[in-house]
Amino acid sequence: MNGLISMDKTVIVNKACEVLKEGGVVLLPTDTVYGLCMAAKKDADFSKIYAIKGRLPEKPLGCFIGGKDDLKRYASNIPDYVYTLVDAFWPGKLSIVLDASDKICPFLVAADGSVMFRQAKSELIDGIISSLDCPLAQTSANLSGKDAVAGAKDLDARIVDAVDYAYRNDSFAAGKDSCPSTVVDCRGKKPIVLREGAVSVIDIMSSLGL
């Protein structure tokens, strides 16, 4: 099912939540690239999103959350410097890897016990998370091994046809020059950048006085 670009934001959020509550997969623009999302309830099954993307099951999905309070709920062993990063870059394009708490969906947890968290700078994503009261499992809306997509016209038709609800509107997206988020492992005494993306290593270290 395809969303119309003239639809009001509230209508989009309500439709997306309706699909997500039934275990469906939603395609949406985010603040970086287009993404595939599912509701990450404690008993969620993400096999459909893996099948659509062609992603190996041993590669866990990241998740969108509502902010600092959600991070405290769904992560554990959080170093103090993480809150400095959150204050500096959330909502925004920084993904933070931390140990999982026992409150998060186990299918989001990697073999080493970690989960990747991000608060997107997106009214759509925030509205959906608030309505669902759970994280959103997420991955970029491209076939595995292909480049992430920042514009609706570049979405693979196989992805669009396979999801349960597709909303394509570049006015909500970051634009054609966007890139994925920067990923930082924050389980140690200092952060380790696993992937440099929209937020530079220099900006991350500067925010921490390093």
- The CATH number linked to 42 is 3.90.870.10
2 in any annotated domain: no
156 in any annotated domain: yes
What is the pTM assigned to this prediction?
0.90
The model's pLDDT over 138-175, given as tens digits with 9 standing for 90+, comes to 999 999 999 888 888 999 999 999 999 999 986 655 55
Beta bridge partners of 137: 38, 63
E strand or H helix at 116, and its extent? strand 114-118
* Cis check: omega of the bond before 180, within 30 degrees of 0: no
102 in any annotated domain: yes
Q: 31 is written with which tokens? A: 């603040």
54 in any annotated domain: yes
48 in any annotated domain: yes
Contact present, 128 and 20 (Cβ < 8 Å) = yes
107 in any annotated domain: yes
The model's pLDDT over 66-122, given as tens digits with 9 standing for 90+, comes to 999 999 999 999 999 999 999 999 999 999 999 999 999 999 999 999 999 999 999
The model's pLDDT over 12-50, given as tens digits with 9 standing for 90+, comes to 999 999 999 999 999 999 988 899 999 999 889 899 999
State which residues form the domain around 67: 9-207
Distance from C-alpha of 134 to C-alpha of 208, rounded to nearest angstrom: 30
> In total, how many domains does the chain have?
1
Phi, psi of 26 (to 5 degrees): -115, 140
177 in any annotated domain: yes
Distance from C-alpha of 179 to C-alpha of 149, rounded to nearest angstrom: 9
89 in any annotated domain: yes
